[in-house]
A and B are shown apart, each in its own frame.
Chain A
Amino acid sequence: MIPSTIEIRPGADDVRIARLAAAAIVLSVAEAAIPLPLPGVKPGLANIVILIVLLRWGWRDAVWVALLRVFAGSLLLGQFLAPGFFMGLAGSVASLVTLGLVVHLPARWFGPVSLSIFAAFAHIGGQLVLARLWLVPHDGVFYLVPVFALAATVFGLINGLVAARLLRDWAEQAHGRG
């Protein structure tokens, strides 16, 4: 057998992104096991990882991790190309675009919690737009906006606090070591 001449060498970047994406995927799979009263209302724990990636390694890496999570997560859950996959993709794209904008807010005033809440609202926004255009072509979907908005506020706050705490702990560790 002739050995393949094409060899893909993963760089340090690739390994890091794969590792972080794996963490995000694990969180979304674990989250799928939590029973929830309403489709669309989810804690979105994977967004903790996305936030940390965004703040430590930048927007490009966050896009990679988020999209890998959507694709691999849906494959693992058997949701790939199902409506739920497109909803997740729409939410992810909307929140990545939003994060790309709000990450430029002055960090002194706006921390991970702000970014998390903006991202959570963008998530439901993207999903609602897609749902209105495609799945439920009726204004009735907007009847659920208050529920989704409250969920985005609560889970955005919690995820943001967790991300802020992890980032702070790491910064303290690095400081203590250096």
Chain B
Amino acid sequence: MKRALEWARLLRPGDVLVIALALAFCALATLTLWRGGAPDKAVVRAAGRVVAELPLAQARLLEVDGPLGVTLVEIEPGRARVASDPGPRQYCVRQGWLTRAGAVAICAPNQVSLSLVGGAVEFDSLNY
């Protein structure tokens, strides 16, 4: 503690300002350059056609009709998932929450897909 104080005495008032500015620049650079993975909206397709583009701002449920029945898409702030699907293997449901731009959940039997887009998309698509 005493040691640290002795080092701190080497700082002049402007130095503290410069350090603060440098840290602010680091934070700003991180926020602006590293937010590529944050998605803006969810795109829901049925039989290849876009049926809904939903902002990931507020929670809501969307029912999408397909050949087998109703696929339930659930949106929450910053993420989305397929909550239920009539398909036999449930791949898209078991993918769980999608959180990154470029992520896709495909319910092939019911011909419904859910994908997240926005920002700078890091990947063409993400599979799990």
Spell out A's residues near B (CB within 8 Å).
105-106, 108-114, 117-118, 121, 142-143, 145-146, 149-150, 152-153, 156-157, 160-161, 164-165, 168
Q: Is the interface of B mostly helix, strand, loop or mixed?
A: helix
B26 touches A153 (CB 8 A): yes
Q: Is B126 an interface residue (CB 8 A)?
A: no
Given A146-B30, A165-B7, decide whether A111 and B12 contact each other with a Cβ distance below 8 A: yes
Question: Using an 8 Å CB-CB cutoff, how does the interface string of B7-39 with A read, 1 for contact, 0 for none?
Answer: 100111111001100110110011001100000
- A113-B29 contact, Cβ under 8 Å, with A108-B12, A146-B34, A165-B10: no
Q: How near does chain A come to B12, taking the closest CB pair, in angstroms?
A: 4
16 A-B pairs in the complex with CB atoms less than 8 angstroms apart = A106-B14, A111-B12, A111-B14, A117-B18, A117-B22, A118-B18, A142-B33, A145-B33, A149-B22, A149-B25, A152-B22, A153-B19, A153-B23, A153-B25, A161-B11, A164-B10
Query: How many chain B residues touch the partner (CB < 8 A)?
Result: 17
For residue A114, which residues in chain B have a CB less than 8 angstroms away from its CB?
12, 14-15, 18
A110→B10 CA distance, assembly (Å)? 11
Q: Closest chain B residue to A167 by CB distance? A: B10
Closest 7 CB pairs of A and B: A109-B14, A110-B14, A113-B15, A164-B10, A146-B30, A153-B22, A111-B12
